[in-house]
Amino acid sequence: MLPKIRRAERSDCARMLELVNELAVYERAPDEVTVSMEHFMESGFGPNPVYWAFVAEVKDIVVGFALYYIRYSTWKGQRMYLEDILVTEAYRGKGIGALLMDALIQEAHQKEFKGITWQVLDWNEPAINFYKKYKVKFDGNRVIWGGIYSPYDGYFNGRWRDSNYDEVNKFEEINHKIKMTTQYSDGYVNTKYYHIGD
């Protein structure tokens, strides 16, 4: 049966929190989840929500979810921050994570967010391999940055602007677009395109 992807509702909170605890066990931090059910529900479905989510359902059972909130970049504006995307163990490897990610990308595009960012533990190879499908660049720390989707640029490689990396930017005008090529001191090259006037 094909999974159903839909927006999360208040009634999903208990199951979502079960999955959060499942993730905490997988990430070797089972005692770190201290949020109460009341707080979790109010934060997502109260009068002033601070997060939004999609769930994946199979036979009326929530088997995965993706939860995000809005972070603000003084350089770029509003961006989606992906806090969690997870699928319960029995349903992994069936494309459900990709369907949730597609829902997030569509949401980011519709709301005109300037990007999507997330982090992943560097030992979590299944998650890293999943994110690699979205043409991202990883930085090698214990917690590593995943990447960005921009409605203007499509998928592109990215990294944090880190003071440890010197960078040189080159700008070219090509077919009414600005091409920005960034060369970092460690050899990594990133290219972006901007429409003139954006």
The residues pairing with 66 across neighbouring beta strands, listed in sequence order, are 54, 85
The answer to whether 160 and 138 have CB atoms below 8 angstroms apart is no
* DSSP assignment letter at 138: -
- Determine the Cα–Cα distance for residues 70 and 75; give it in Å rounded to an integer: 15
Q: Which residues are catalytic?
A: 131
Q: What is the helix (H) or strand (E) element at residue 156, kind and residue range?
A: strand 154-156
Q: Three-state DSSP class for 1?
A: coil
The answer to whether 138 and 144 have CB atoms below 8 angstroms apart is yes
Helices assigned H by DSSP within 46-124 = 96-110
